[in-house]
A and B are shown apart, each in its own frame.
Chain A
């Protein structure tokens, strides 16, 4: 069937800000889809509020709306653009839910918009637990026994029938939000309550526990002619009970016989047909009893999912692109397989390697949160590794995580060969409960002599996986038999590499330098080869330059003689280093390709656009370690390597690469080092004459106390070389400092602690700029909404600055330019300033791409990272036509998104340690409207009427008055507890006093739970999760009640509410805001 000609314009819904359970994999899918739809000549309209995405680049769609993903805004967009169709299956759960809402509210019907890919009925059937189960049963398949409840009472009745443990799953939530496993009645009640609260339709499924069963996923595609193919099978290393997003997963399925696999395949075909997904991809999860032939269907996502992103990268089959083409009417046999070019997309990829995905967690950011892995997803990112064996891929994945592990054991974090060897009881305890480090304890258990059978008994992990781990350890013991590398014969050394051992592990084992191991290894001819990912197991000649390394005989990657530049990606997503850097890397490939270079991408994160095979000219899916990158450099001999676009990950490699003779282009590693080195940096700023908050370096605890006393409290303390403000604290007194020192030194033992004077009530300003050897152009000046002291990644920020004087802004620009010159910056740089009482202080300089580059680029309409890469490659800003700062006429606001609802028990107050997972955009000609949009885009509700709870610390009491007054003027009622209520009364602001939690019932928590309060303004006076106010904030978060914790945020939200009430949901595409930047034009601005 040819493509549909009865539709000509299509609205694509993105997935919004990065949150747990929904990360940049949907940027990958949306980008692919937009490209595919445009290729087919459709007019595309995109809505997505996440500026740090490739899909929102103005070139990718005809109309790009960086507007909130809520029904009211999207309805306006539909009204304006009148698309013929809406494609909801590529924007994750957010896209699907939003489209469902639009359909339910009749908006799609009203404007005659057809849902393609999945209809409302399909979504309903797949997402509604009860309908889904009925549908599955009706086609003769089994589901876990269960019941649906809308209240606790009913849930209990179901539980009594099923018995404990049982699984609770709320309907219509993302990443299993609010779900869990209950082992006792108390737990059961708690999880059901939470689930009911979080479910969009107040519905939970109470389900028979299949914990410990084997878990599988199939990625299925179907077209209009009812052709169905399986793209990939995935087996979970962690058995049922751990959310698949939090599981280590392996592709293809490892332990299914063909009979079992084909039965599962048949079931998947029946399911996709019965649910009625007409075109596109779906992900179906199964559980099988390890001891019998029972197989149950767990769930289905009628859309492109995180697993489909993984499956795409795992197989090379571009699921999202194909899904988009199927949605507009093509059939699988009409679409060519890009990789082989000769064979059609209507086939099932075969894999001749093993894929291992390991999730990345951020529990260190949420110390109060429970780190047990359950059915609710908690990971913030993932790595994927490819090898020819599970052992190789597994060890490569572990070293890709950048968690201080260089593989499976043998390293600094290995407790077994240290004085902290865990005891048997401790090991057993760690095996029984799934958690991030369970894999380490499997190793300890094996080293402690536990059998694979015993470990299987305790963990439920399939014996085949355990055998492979144990074989890795067997090889370790063979290596340990040697005193040094010199006595190891070539075959054993090669075998170690084939088992995925890294040079660093070998170096650690024999107390050598990593580079020495490398040299000796190369001298013996033990070097990796690169194999192609081709969807067909080598059966057909393939053209996609997508490679991974392994230690075998034949190498398939060939160096071309074109000038080439390698870009190092940013590795797994984590808090502080996410999709923003991937965006920069992707833009760099675009820029360098335009400049005539061959581009080579290295990355280990399957959720990204950078790891799409058509982003760079060549893709190496490899760990971002010195060893792995040097291996690629050995083959490719790039003319330059870019390390400044991928965040800390590639930066950490800069020195080692340079020492090995690799040419780093852009700002020199030396300059990067100067910026990081306190003493050397001080000399530079002294020369320029910028003030710096008084600061000192302490290497011991005594030094720290002495320094803090000299500087004067409060001080900001942090270890050197940190990411996202890791372990950074504001310390007000000596006791706190004493407590902190223990932790901080733990965090980074090699590096000293930095102590800065903390500037209270200062305005923080971030500047992104770009420099070549002649000039430095300001990209954007961002005024942080929150005061200095709150991590800039967690603060809303505004372009252009809304409260700073022109003089200050121009001074900041000038200082930035001088810093660029002093540091000899080539490419991007980021400077953070604090402005206090019209005095400028410098906080830090990062001569590299910062997290804010995509935000600034979207705000000013210039792709900074693309230009940055071109500058690094030797082009001048004059040549590129970017010579003047662009100060936009409109206001652009970036707002952070937090994962607090996934970590019950953690307090939501902000500090110097970054905890947000993503960001949302708000753009408008009016600042208040931009605020409102950015706020709504984060997924928070912007209440327009109702009751507001106000409770602020004493220091804020004076300044809350105008905020409170404005709220009343906007028609809100106020409630407050004692102190704040008194202040409001004194100022003649009407309010009602309610009880604190400690004052008895009904108290503020009751009012929150009863839905009587729409907004909480609570600035914290004390710290700690057990305080009264922390409980209030916790309740608000779990209830989904909008909660702001700083005065600045309160002011902004009130301004936002005012504006929203005034203008409603106003929308405008970014193409209408900015003039498209042309690299060839003479001047811009």
Chain B
């Protein structure tokens, strides 16, 4: 057997609602805890695993067959996986793709990720859907239920924690890698000779975002999440970018204050956590969603054009629409599934943001235009 028989059905997952699932370990040995979320993307497990926004989360893939095409350096969103655990129905025992450099099993083991297969991932998904995102604990040892219960109690809540600081860069860095034209031959649509300077806050940024900015013709300076307004402005940027990142934005008082300071001084674009921080900076309210949005098929309506884009999403918190309206911020995008805010605009302060991921990776490219919009905003600002 290519699956190690001694590992069969030894691993365990316990959820906060008390349910216990058996599985087979296919990654590192050990144990781990975190918030259990499900992701509905059918491809892109490598991007999901390396997205820092999943820090502190055990990710359950609804797509049952994972690992089929292995892993490759090009598809990394950061230099290592961030998830607290990984749950699938069946992990491939081989990597079938000309780009594959390694198989998923070996790669996960190498990075110490606890990964379980053989799971009834649909049952887990339905529990999370019905009861909301909850804590979970995974172990590769067949522990008794009462032991599992005790370990689960020690797992920290995600709400109210600053998960950004540990994943953010600690020093400034210039980003020079563009997107690969093989995969995005038409991006960006229009080019400009003018080089823009963008300072990008790293709250746990996905590399794809930085690549997208670079390909726009920007000099991209990535700064740590704790960078001050003076440090940012010292670069004389044409624009400031607020990245995605893990967890709850509410404890991130420092970055929120800095963003508040910068708003209006310089064009600004935020994605995901960056969007939430921007909203928080203008006084909007952030709430935790029941189980969040994690997947590649979320329909988002652009309220300006009426067109729908299919988007990649990964967030557990959202900005409330009412609070934005109170702050006289224009809501520009809405999620068609549940009506949550997906985008906003602060025209008087040359800033806009989206809750979803225009850089995709994984996911559809429908929203790439937003990067071009950011560039246009910077070009305009420079001209005036």
Residues in chain A within 8 A of chain B (CB atoms)? 140, 225-227, 229, 233, 252-263, 265-266, 290-293, 332-333, 342-344, 346-354, 388-390, 462-464, 467, 471, 474, 478, 491, 531, 536-541, 552-554, 556
Contact = CB atoms under 8 A, between A and B. Distances in A.
B69 A256 contact: yes
Contacts, number: 176
A258 B44 contact: yes
A259 B62 contact: no
Contact of A539 (B40, B72, B75, B90): B40
A537 B125 CA distance: 8
Given A252-B42, A537-B40, A552-B123, A478 B1 contact: yes
Interface in B306-324: 306-308, 310
B365 interface: yes
A478 B38 CA distance: 34
Contact of A262 (B62, B297, B360): B360
B8, B75, B94, B298: residue with the most chain A Cβ atoms closer than 10 Å: B94
A347 B301 CA distance: 11
Contact of B129 (A332, A478, A541): A541
Among B9, B96, B180, B363, find the residue whose CB has the most chain A CB atoms closer than 10 A: B96
Contacts of B75: 257-259
B361 interface: yes
A204 to B, nearest CB: 31
Contacts of A553: 21, 120, 123
Contacts of A256: 43, 69
Contacts of A342: 337
Interface of B: 1-2, 8-9, 21, 38, 40-44, 46-47, 62-65, 68-69, 72, 74-75, 89-90, 92-94, 96-99, 120-123, 125-126, 129, 180, 182-186, 295-299, 301, 306-308, 310, 336-337, 360-365
A226 B310 CA distance: 13
B129 A539 contact: yes
Given A255-B69, A262-B360, A540 B337 contact: yes
Contacts of A352: 40, 62-64, 121-122, 125
Contact of B72 (A257, A388, A464, A552): A257
B165 to A, nearest CB: 29
Contact of A491 (B8, B120, B185): B8
B238 to A, nearest CB: 28
A389 B120 contact: no
A258 B76 CA distance: 12
A389 B182 CA distance: 31
A363 B328 CA distance: 71
B120 A333 contact: no
B208 to A, nearest CB: 10
Given A333-B308, A538-B122, A539-B295, A350 B96 contact: no
A269 to B, nearest CB: 8
A1001 B141 CA distance: 84
Given A254-B68, A265-B364, A463 B129 contact: no
Contacts of B90: 388-389
B299 A333 contact: yes
Contacts of B8: 491
Given A254-B65, A260-B183, A353-B64, 14 more contacts: A257-B43, A258-B46, A263-B183, A344-B299, A346-B299, A347-B299, A389-B65, A390-B65, A463-B94, A464-B69, A467-B96, A537-B40, A539-B40, A553-B123
A476 to B, nearest CB: 12
B43 A253 contact: yes
Nearest to B45: A258
Contact of B126 (A349, A354, A538): A538
Nearest to A467: B94
Nearest to B92: A464
B44 A538 contact: no
B65 A354 contact: yes
Q: Which 3 A-B residue pairs are closest in the complex by CB-CB distance?
A: A258-B44, A537-B62, A554-B123
A257 B97 contact: yes
A258 B126 CA distance: 25
Contacts of B69: 255-257, 464
B297 A349 contact: yes
Nearest to B130: A541
Contact of A552 (B44, B120, B306, B337): B120
A227 B68 CA distance: 31
A333 B301 contact: yes
Given A259-B74, A388-B64, A291 B98 contact: yes
Contacts of B298: 347
A471 B65 CA distance: 14
B306 to A, nearest CB: 6
A538 B94 contact: no
A261 B43 contact: yes
Nearest to B123: A554
A262 B364 contact: yes
A580 B342 CA distance: 50
A480 to B, nearest CB: 14
A536 B40 contact: yes
A148 B123 CA distance: 54
Contact of B41 (A258, A333, A463): A258
A835 to B, nearest CB: 59
9 contacts: A254-B65, A257-B69, A258-B363, A259-B74, A259-B361, A260-B183, A266-B365, A467-B96, A537-B125
Contact of B336 (A257, A346, A540): A346
Nearest to A263: B183
